[in-house]
């Protein structure tokens, strides 16, 4: 398992070692001891969510603020998608930095999104399924949604037609509005 930090402090890309044989393939998606060494602290799952989406669905940008916070381990378990992480932690040396990674079920590559970093995805296939392993249970009112099309963030999602989006995502606040409303986590 290869665990590499992205350009965003505390955010990692996890690439499993594939062990194929005549039966198929095997890999460890996450090993808590190895991951804790790379992260510098334990990651203890408290909730697991799945989202199944049609091709060209844009979900995000989402984060969790406040005292609850939330780390998220994101894996594509069917199909393919583009995952983007945006450092929205006030005072972070990488504030506003966005990094993207392609995730697909065949590779098993995952991303770890630390508390205060927002994430979003664009599905590249129909019936794409993403698994979110969360460090805290969902708490009403703690989610922070940022406009995924905010020109300040300038995310190159790569869609060629308007994406499918929820009303909440398409009406989410801009990064400037989030900073002004003081809902973002601190570094």
Residues marked as catalytic: 62, 132
Residue written as token pair 């669905």: 57
Residue written as token pair 């969360």: 134
Instruction: Specify the DSSP class assigned to residue 161.
Output: S
Q: Note whether 39 and 115 are within 8 A (CB).
A: no
Q: How far apart are CA 4 and CA 112, in angstroms?
A: 10
Counted residue by residue, the chain has a size of 187
Task: Enumerate residues 6+ apart whose C-beta is below 8 A from 107.
Answer: 15
| Angle in degrees, CA 92, 97, 101, rounded to 5 | 125
Residue 158: phi and psi, rounded to 5, are 85, 15
Q: Note whether 61 and 172 are within 8 A (CB).
A: yes
Query: In 3-state terms, what secondary structure has residue 110?
Result: strand
């Amino acid at each position: 398992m290869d665990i590499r930090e992205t350009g965003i402090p505390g955010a990692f890309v996890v690439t499993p070692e594939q062990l194929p044989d005549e039966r198929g393939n095997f890999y460890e998606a996450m090993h808590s001891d190895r991951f804790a060494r790379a992260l510098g602290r334990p990651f203890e799952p408290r909730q697991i969510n799945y989202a199944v989406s049609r091709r060209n669905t844009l979900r995000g940008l989402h984060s969790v603020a406040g005292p609850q916070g939330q780390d998220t381990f994101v894996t594509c378990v069917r199909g393919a998608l583009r995952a983007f992480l945006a450092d929205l932690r006030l005072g972070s040396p990488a504030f506003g930095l966005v990094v993207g990674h392609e995730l697909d079920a065949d590779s098993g590559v995952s991303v770890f999104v630390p508390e205060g970093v927002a994430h979003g995805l664009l599905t590249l296939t129909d019936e794409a399924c993403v698994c979110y392993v969360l460090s805290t249970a969902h708490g009403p009112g703690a989610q922070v949604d940022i406009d995924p099309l905010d020109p300040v963030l300038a995310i190159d999602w790569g869609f060629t037609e308007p994406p499918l989006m929820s009303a909440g995502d398409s009406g989410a606040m801009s990064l400037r509005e989030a900073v002004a409303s003081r809902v973002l986590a601190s570094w």
